[in-house]
Amino acid sequence: RLQQKRRLVQERIREFPDFPTPGVLFRDITPILKDPVAFAAAIDLLEAHVKASHPQVEYIAGLDSRGFLFGPALAQRLGVGFVLIRKKGKLPGPTVSVAYSLEYGQAELEVQNDAVSPGQNVLLIDDLLATGGTMQAACELMKKLGANILECVVLIELKSLKGQEAIKPNSLYSLLQYD
């Protein structure tokens, strides 16, 4: 059953060589969203994992922008709130920010100071972990707010880029792994 759902999701991921820069094999998740059965399967799998492993979760924190596609649907299933970790300059009011580099560039992430309170149990979500630079920066932001990070969750892990090492000591859960 779970394997069948995993297969449904996997069938809706396509690859584009040399995007957005030469040498990068881009894994495109847009077909998952276009297919309601595959999209539901992805959320089902994430929901089952979180309910089994992190029943104490209080907030889902999604990473700009593809974490915003899966995070809110998951948060609704779990009956918890969703908070936004955004690219710099998008959020009003007091914020904290962290600069980072990713597989094909650099950027800065930001979160509102009141997104979560110290000690709250937060789960971070994104579509994909490559070098882990983005997720590591998001973890730093959450730590600046005093959050308790339960886990980092992604649909796709690109194993050869060793993102799991980069985000240590935070732990990773991925639905699908590629070399």
Residues assigned a catalytic role: 66, 103
d(CA 111, CA 87): 9
Q: Does 99 bind ligand ADE (CB under 6 A)?
A: no
| Phi, psi torsion values for 163, nearest 5 degrees | -65, -30
Query: Is residue 62 a contact residue for ligand PRP (CB under 6 A)?
Result: no
- Order of all β-strands in the sheet with 81-87: 95-102, 105-112, 81-87, 59-63, 121-129, 148-158, 172-178
Which is closer to ligand ADE, CB of 9 or CB of 116? 9
130 touching ligand ADE, by CB under 6 A: yes
| Residue 20, φ and ψ in degrees, nearest 5 | -85, -5
3-state DSSP assignment of residue 31: helix
Residue 24 interacting partner from ligand ADE, ligand PRP, none (CB closer than 5 to 8 Å by kind): ligand ADE
Q: Which does 5 bind (CB under 5 to 8 A by kind): ligand PRP, ligand ADE, none?
A: none
State which of residues 60, 129, 156, 175 lies at the interface with ligand PRP (CB under 6 A): 129
Task: Note whether 45 and 34 are within 8 A (CB).
Answer: no
- Number of residues engaging ligand PRP in binding (CB under 6 A): 16
Among 9, 84, 103, 152, binds ligand PRP (CB under 6 A): 103
User: CB neighbours (10 Å) of residue 21?
Assistant: 10
Does the protein bind ligand ADE through residue 173 (CB under 6 A)? no
Sign of CA dihedral 23, 153, 109, 166: negative
Residue 33 makes contact with ligand ADE by CB under 6 A: no
The footprint of ligand ADE (CB under 6 A) covers: 24-27, 102-103, 128, 130, 158
The footprint of ligand PRP (CB under 6 A) covers: 63-66, 102-103, 126-134, 163
